[in-house]
Structure 1
């Protein structure tokens, strides 16, 4: 690697940001459509980047759906793409949506196009089982990645050199970013917008699409950990937590609601949700706080009391730990 290899990409990024301000440059997104693509995964980047703009409505991204063949078929329908693999040669970001068949071999032409883009310094991201496609290129070897929680074990089995983390919504390794199943692609794409143009632009995109800018917690909250006779009781408890989030909730109190001993309740709760009761309660409080910060002008003290924190100080501390910014700053992103 030469000094040019190190500094030229940074210099180009500076020029691009300058060009955005004067209306000349648009970040080029190439969404790769492969046979048996997952339609929802394919649509996520198309929608999110299309709705991302500056305050003057200037578009910031140009999205092209590309493929090796002009027509590509999914389970439900076929599409005609507007670009071939050559779109990867001019892209700033390549996104690989999920595919239905995780063992499906990808053509050498597609794999080499992805590798060439990577060598050129292009950012490459996968959604859901798109990680299996990316793994075939060898670019994930030695990296920590994620995919849909139901496919994590299979990804680790097929590609033992890849470190699979099934408990997160996305993993950012710099040039390579992987996301978990389905809607986690939304989280990842908003993360990319935030990296490219800042939190305010990303927050505006999230507001337009009516989605949270960032969700607390990882895939554990969506994993079914086995059928258990207590599952109905747990569903009742989770609903009870939401309805009583403004009150002082303890494990003993929840166990009483579930007609279990505290120890049995804590064990059953962990089996069903993958996290402890108190961690779930805290995540629920933060999630509700974010909704209020996004949609109201309530004071920090009012929101703190509404979601069950015993003080505004503990609320601010917990919020910053989970979200990465202060409640007041987060609220300001939605009040512009």
Structure 2
């Protein structure tokens, strides 16, 4: 019996119309990434994206860097696109004009996939499309995003989130991970891996892997700075919150209150993040074993480090180290 011939998916049989939205105040980093990946990685003998640069602010926009950029189309080009890419956004707390928000809602209702890079999630948030859904953005915008859009399930730790045709990525580098995942969905793993090699990045970083969030620092100068430095210098020790309170010459209750007010985290949460941050540094820059790194960071064992790493970072220490080598 001859093999059954299956019809290739639509996404593999033809090119897909993709619109990159531009605006006054455009972020060149996110815009450049979108253009390079979705237009620059095209192959003349294989389906890819048909890219249109569409402006919401007239035929010429001025980027954050003061560069003038001429678009190919206006905002009406958003309708009919397979994918709409939003490379960041401006004046995050200000409500965008109603027509633009309606166009985004209409496009999504008609089946368009909406993709936000970094702060572009704010435009989707203002549209109301993210209400009741999961999304992510850069960790430094988390507080403002949560205040503006309390109905959105903000997945701060994730590199990217794909949810019902609404896709969002975290920091600027995470837009590469999201883009590669979309290429994988649209044109298969081989094309995604080709793009990854061209970008010199890992072919796959799971969306559930957490952002590399910086260790929280005091919101302003405070009396706990010496305690923080003491903790960072003694991470290998079995430090407890009681130890830190004693070093600060405070009662435990007073120390907890002052620490939370200064750092935005409880002392226990901050200490765990400090240990994990040091572990990430050693995984990225040394050849120490997992057991040695665990001891250097104050974890009871290599297994304790592995367990906490998977919970907090989303991947194992070994997987994290491998990704740093690509």
Report the TM-score when normalising by structure 2: 0.69
The question of whether the paired residues in 1 share the 8 Å contact of 2:130 and 2:152 is answered with no
What is the deviation of 1:321?
1.3
49 and 75 in structure 1: CA distance in 2 versus 1, 3 angstrom threshold? closer
Q: How does 1:1-336 map to 2 (within 5 A)?
A: 11-12=9-10, 15=12, 30-35=19-24, 37=25, 39=27, 42-44=28-30, 46-47=32-33, 50=36, 65-68=53-56, 69-73=58-62, 77-84=66-73, 85=75, 86=77, 89-90=80-81, 92-100=83-91, 102-106=93-97, 108=99, 111-112=102-103, 115-116=106-107, 119-125=110-116, 127-128=118-119, 130-145=120-135, 148-149=141-142, 151-152=144-145, 155-156=148-149, 163-164=151-152, 168=156, 172-174=161-163, 175-178=165-168, 184-186=170-172, 188-193=174-179, 195-196=181-182, 201=196, 204-205=200-201, 214-215=210-211, 221=216, 224=219, 231-336=221-326
| Other-structure match for 1:20 | none
Gaps of 5+ in 1: 1-7, 17-23, 55-59, 157-161, 208-212
Secondary structure of 2:246 counterpart: helix
| Other-structure match for 1:210 | none
Alignment partners' CA distance in 1, 2:52 and 2:286: 37
Report the TM-score when normalising by structure 1: 0.67
Gaps of 5+ in 2: 1-6, 42-47, 204-208
What is the deviation of 1:261?
1.5
105 and 325 in structure 1: CA distance in 2 versus 1, 3 angstrom threshold? closer
Secondary structure of 1:237 counterpart: helix
The question of whether the paired residues in 1 share the 8 Å contact of 2:26 and 2:89 is answered with yes
315 and 258 in structure 1: CA distance in 2 versus 1, 3 angstrom threshold? same
The count of aligned residue pairs is 290
Secondary structure of 2:260 counterpart: helix
What is the deviation of 1:123?
3.6
What is the deviation of 1:106?
2.3
Alignment partners' CA distance in 2, 1:168 and 1:334: 21
What is the deviation of 1:278?
1.9
What is the deviation of 1:234?
2.8
The question of whether the paired residues in 2 share the 8 Å contact of 1:33 and 1:96 is answered with yes
266 and 327 in structure 1: CA distance in 2 versus 1, 3 angstrom threshold? same
Secondary structure of 1:124 counterpart: strand
CA RMSD in angstroms comes to: 4.3
| Other-structure match for 1:3 | none
Alignment partners' CA distance in 2, 1:29 and 1:295: 39
92 and 257 in structure 1: CA distance in 2 versus 1, 3 angstrom threshold? same
